[in-house]
Amino acid sequence: MTTMTDPPKGDGFRLSQLLYDTRYRSMTIQVIALIAFMMFAAFLVRNTIINLENLGKDINFSFLGYSANYDINQRLIPYVSSDSNMRAAVVGLLNTLLVAFLGCILATVVGVIAGVLRLSKNWLTARIMTVYVETFRNIPVLLWILAFMAILSESLPVPRSFKGPNAESSMWLWDTVAVTNRGTYVPMPIWGAGSALVVITFLLSLVGIWAFGKFAKRKFEATGQILPTFWIKLAIFLVPTVLAYFVLGRPVTLTYPEFKGFNFTGGLHLRNSLLALWLALSLYTGSYIAEIVRSGILAVSSGQTEAAYALGLRPSRTMNLVILPQALRVIIPPLISQYLNLTKNSSLALAVGYMDLRSTLGGTTLNTTGRELEAMVLMMLIYLVVSLSISSSMNFYNKSVKLKER
């Protein structure tokens, strides 16, 4: 599209057209802005290199191969202090991903329940959920992390209270779980020969549940028949895995925590730093998700609910089949931001001594090697990749559940 001020075609190109011709003006401004940005970035990089040279430093990532010489108390893969800084960073990254994964699951469960209950017609239930939401989202998450750490450390019994025939404290769940102020000890699986087949069977069961869910949905849309999906999915989840477990000779066993000396040994030790960080991030983010769920439900017209009731649907089926599918298109986009916030807020783990990526690569490694620029650049790149991965997967899910226009 051209304007009356544009010169007629066929007169040849002149440099003045880059500014006065509307066909080229926007492109000219974008090129100038890009050149200015690149010059500013080049200035920053050059200035950084000169300052590092004046300090006798260079940009070098060889420190990743040096011995870390520090311990990490919570780890998902084998690690000793003589391992490299690279392996220490990987251990920290896995700890970050662990608390982010657990936090997103628990925050979603808490947020959905709280969001639905905030709309309850029961006055007391709705007010309790309001108090929860307003209390958690109006206090900084760092304070919640410290508060949960203090509660776990001060209110739980010390390990020696489990000692002796007349112990002051007792273990939970038939003497299999010990909750102490040093952490929680739970049974740990021991993977024997053939356990891989049990795991593969379990994964195939999950695929079967997903396939049956798709089949039930298509049948409902085609015929209106509602299948008993809960019990069938439960059977698919349990029966194949249990059969494989016994047929293969029970290859997966458990080792239980046992009190010896001054503390518990055996089992899986979940430190209070992990539990405090997990609970604080989950409940804090869950309060925001509750408001997102509530707004998504309110965005659905009340006529949809009345129409479902007029067709004889029960309230639970109305919520599952009518309200939530329409509310998801409103809920998921802001939900992605909350997942990203939870993942980034996990970098506050240093406050309670949880060794995540910030504590390993951006903490001890940075301080002992003096490579602050390289460590910060690596951390920024890793957090960027993790955040983009979460965002991409959620956008893919959002695209799969959004309403299809005909």
For 212-263, write each residue's pLDDT tens digit.
988 888 888 788 777 778 888 899 999 999 999 999 888 888 889 888 888 8
Question: In 299-406, where does DSSP find H-type helix?
Answer: 302-310, 315-318, 324-345, 357-359, 366-369, 372-401
Residues contacting residue 323 through CB under 8 Å, at least 6 positions apart: 297, 300, 304, 305
Contact between 243 and 198 under an 8 Å Cβ cutoff? The reply is: no
pLDDT band at 95 (very low <50, low <70, confident <90, very high): very high
For residues 113, 116, 122, 124, the Cα torsion angle rounded to the nearest 10 degrees is: 50
Residue 6 has pLDDT above 70, yes or no: no
How many whole angstroms from its chain centre is CA 58? Answer: 36
Q: What gap in Å lies between CA 49 and CA 389, rounded to an integer? A: 32
Domain-wise residue ranges, the chain? 85-187+256-401
For 353-362, write each residue's pLDDT tens digit.
999 999 999 9
Helix (H) or strand (E) holding 63: none
Residue 7 has pLDDT above 80, yes or no: no
Q: Which amino acid is at 375?
A: A
What pLDDT sits at residue 388?
A: 94
For 261-281, write each residue's pLDDT tens digit.
888 888 888 999 999 999 999
Contact between 162 and 169 under an 8 Å Cβ cutoff? The reply is: yes
Contact between 88 and 72 under an 8 Å Cβ cutoff? The reply is: yes
CA distances from 130 to 114, 147, 285, 294, 319 (A): 9, 21, 15, 11, 21
* Range 339-367 average pLDDT: 92
Residue with tokens 């910060």: 376
Residue with tokens 């709309």: 119
For the chain, give the number of residues. Answer: 406
Q: Which amino acid is at 75?
A: R
C-alpha angle with apex 151: 150 to 156, nearest 5 degrees?
115
Contact between 52 and 373 under an 8 Å Cβ cutoff? The reply is: yes
pLDDT band at 364 (very low <50, low <70, confident <90, very high): very high
Q: What gap in Å lies between CA 356 and CA 358, rounded to an integer? A: 5
For residues 53, 56, 59, 64, the Cα torsion angle rounded to the nearest 10 degrees is: -170
pLDDT band at 344 (very low <50, low <70, confident <90, very high): very high
In this prediction, what percent of the chain has a pLDDT beyond 90?
A: 51
For 9-39, write each residue's pLDDT tens digit.
556 778 787 888 888 888 889 999 999 999 9
CATH of domain 85-187+256-401: 1.10.3720.10
